[in-house]
Chain A
Amino acid sequence: MHCQTGSWGSYVPTTRTTVGDPLERIERLASENAVVIFSISSCCMCHAIKRLFCGMGVNPTVYELDQDPRGKDMEKALMRLLGSSPAVPVVFIGGKLVGTMDRVMASHINGTLVPLLKQAGALWL
């Protein structure tokens, strides 16, 4: 039998506490799925980017930052990462940062998005 209470010395938390680095969390979440979108539920541009991927037949993993307790910190971290506001929507494919709406659209038009998606296993054709 194991107890989780008592001496703290033997207790090792299996998950990170809330005092974690938001950027690290972002990177971790991004690497867990082929296509990851960080969004805000009320943002219409986020809605557009979701529709774009769904229209291509991709099923993205969406994290709504306004519904996450650590969302504010993550938003700030993303803003620092991107160097511009707004922080959302932002897309990771295969764990790598692709960018915001204009980068995603540009890569779709110039034909580099689809191969990237195929490589990440998000698209089969």
Chain B
Amino acid sequence: MQSFKAAAPHTTPDMFCHSSFFLRYIYLPFTLSRRFGSIFSLKSSDVDVVGNSLHYDAFNTGIRAAEIVSSGTGCLDTGQFMYQKGTTLGNGHTENWGDSGLADNSQHTDTSTDVDTDDKNQLQHGAIITVDQSKLKTGDQKTLRRLAQNREAARKSRLRKKAYVQQLESSRLRLTQLEQELQKARQQGIFIASGLSGGHGLVSGNAALAFDTDYAQWLNEHQRLINDLRSGLNSHLGDSELRILVESVMAHYDEVFKLKNIGAKADAFHMLSGMWKTPAERCFMWLGGFRSSELLKILGNHLEPLTDQQLMGICNLQQSSQQAEDALSQGMEALQQALVDTLSSACLGPTASGNVADYMSQMAIAMSKLATLENFLHQADLLRHQTLQQMHRILTTRQAARALVVFSDYNSRLRALSSLWLARPRN
């Protein structure tokens, strides 16, 4: 039996009323060689640490059980107190507990714990409280119990409050994170589909959102495929393996044109607006996408060396794509002119009803003009797709791989330029 080495100044009756006091008795450091005296020297901060740990609940259970003392009985059978992982103390030990007592003879400080170093293995996860019944009166016991319960309740509520505050803090952080992300994405012209449907036209808003998210997904996959192609080129992959990579990129391009077709049918104006592109891309956009004549200009010298036949093919492609682009542009100009004429025509009639009838008929004409806008968008996408495919036909596998990588890099640099521009310091 260990003699109790009390640090008497610590064990005033007042202290007994503090909830921390209990924990001082309960908490045993997991290095079990510590003697009981050292427990008294634990600071309240140590106790708090314990309180916050997962072991708290186990201690709590123990405490509760310890509080329920029956008067007149001797030492509680501490074997009843099960701590986590079912560690129990043997009965042999409890006898030791019962015999131990505080050196301080105050009736309020009769709870004691004593570390029996022989039983250190059994004390790994907790400690036991025993209440020496003989020194307590019944009334005091009830008061004791009540006070202890109050302390427990207070402790629990403090912990709950702490947890809640922590949760609030992390939620606040998350909120600011999300706001930043949203701001960034909006600047890039891509709307995050987080259930924010616009106030204007729910149907077209949803179609626009759907396309934007699909396109963003497509772009991610496209980057991945291009990176594979790039590493394939750099690692001097064989032609047959390179061809597989090239074919997968081309097939993936087919996907985006399908997406654009669906998007154009759902909301042609959204496609034409280019809001699904970054600002710099949008600026240099033509009829809902890249200029087919630009494709070969971007590729420039990267395709060399070319055979004579290839060179002729490339030149013809450059010329035909330019001519087709010009034709569509002129058609668009004619459309815009027709729309101007229709919408600006003076509807001067002798009667009010004449005005309305004229207005309606003009609007009907304007509507039919707008319908051809969808057709122009469709033709422009077809032109882009066919230019890509023809380029792929003319070039060898390696040349095509290089071309696809160069074209993709140009676009991603344009997107990066948008971000830089948006983030530039302004005075």
Contacts A52-B323, A105-B379 given; does A47 touch B386 at CB 8 Å: no
Contacts of A43 on B, CB cut-off 8 Å?
A: 372
Please state if A109 and B383 are interface contacts (CB–CB under 8 Å).
yes
Please state if A49 and B327 are interface contacts (CB–CB under 8 Å).
yes
Please state if B386 and A48 are interface contacts (CB–CB under 8 Å).
no
Please state if A48 and B323 are interface contacts (CB–CB under 8 Å).
no
Contacts of A47 on B, CB cut-off 8 Å?
A: 330-331, 334
B328: Cβ under 8 A from any A Cβ: yes
Please state if B376 and A45 are interface contacts (CB–CB under 8 Å).
yes
Query: Could you write out 22 A-B pairs with CB less than 8 Å apart?
Result: A42-B338, A43-B372, A44-B332, A44-B376, A45-B331, A47-B334, A48-B328, A48-B331, A48-B332, A49-B327, A51-B326, A52-B323, A52-B324, A52-B326, A55-B327, A102-B378, A102-B379, A106-B382, A111-B313, A111-B316, A111-B320, A113-B320
B417: Cβ under 8 A from any A Cβ: no
Please state if B324 and A108 are interface contacts (CB–CB under 8 Å).
yes
What is the bound-complex CA distance between A95 and B375, given in angstroms?
26
Please state if A44 and B334 are interface contacts (CB–CB under 8 Å).
yes
- Which residue from chain B places its CB closest to the CB of A50 in the assembled complex? B327
B154 CB, nearest partner CB in chain A, Å: 79
Contacts of B328 on A, CB cut-off 8 Å?
A: 48
B418: Cβ under 8 A from any A Cβ: no
Contacts of A114 on B, CB cut-off 8 Å?
A: 316, 320
Q: Mark A24-49, 1 if CB is under 8 A from B, else 0.
A: 00000000000000000011110111
Contacts A44-B334, A102-B379 given; does A55 touch B323 at CB 8 Å: yes
A105 is contacted by which of B324, B335, B375 (Cβ under 8 Å)? Answer: B324
A56: Cβ under 8 A from any B Cβ: yes
What is the bound-complex CA distance between A48 and B327, given in angstroms?
5
B273 CB, nearest partner CB in chain A, Å: 20
A108 is contacted by which of B313, B320, B331, B378 (Cβ under 8 Å)? Answer: B320
Interface set, chain A 78-122, CB cutoff 8 A to B: 101-102, 105-106, 108-111, 113-114
B298 CB, nearest partner CB in chain A, Å: 17
Q: Please tell me the size bucket of the interface on B.
A: 20 to 34
Name the residue in B317, B320, B327 with the highest tally of chain A Cβ atoms < 10 Å from its Cβ: B327
B335 is contacted by which of A44, A52, A109, A110 (Cβ under 8 Å)? Answer: A44
A107 CB, nearest partner CB in chain B, Å: 10
B109: Cβ under 8 A from any A Cβ: no
Residues of B within 8 A of A (CB): 313, 316-317, 320-321, 323-324, 326-328, 330-332, 334-335, 338, 369, 372, 375-376, 378-379, 382-383, 386-387, 390, 393
Please state if B327 and A52 are interface contacts (CB–CB under 8 Å).
yes
Contacts of A110 on B, CB cut-off 8 Å?
A: 386, 390, 393
What is the bound-complex CA distance between A48 and B382, given in angstroms?
15
Given A105-B383, A109-B386, 16 more pairs with CB closer than 8 A: A44-B332, A44-B334, A44-B372, A48-B331, A48-B376, A51-B326, A51-B331, A52-B323, A55-B323, A102-B382, A105-B386, A108-B320, A108-B324, A109-B317, A109-B321, A111-B317
Contacts of A101 on B, CB cut-off 8 Å?
A: 375, 379
Contacts of B321 on A, CB cut-off 8 Å?
A: 109
What is the bound-complex CA distance between A109 and B316, given in angstroms?
8
- Which residue from chain A places its CB closest to the CB of B372 in the assembled complex? A44
What is the bound-complex CA distance between A47 and B330, given in angstroms?
8
- Which residue from chain B places its CB closest to the CB of A42 in the assembled complex? B338
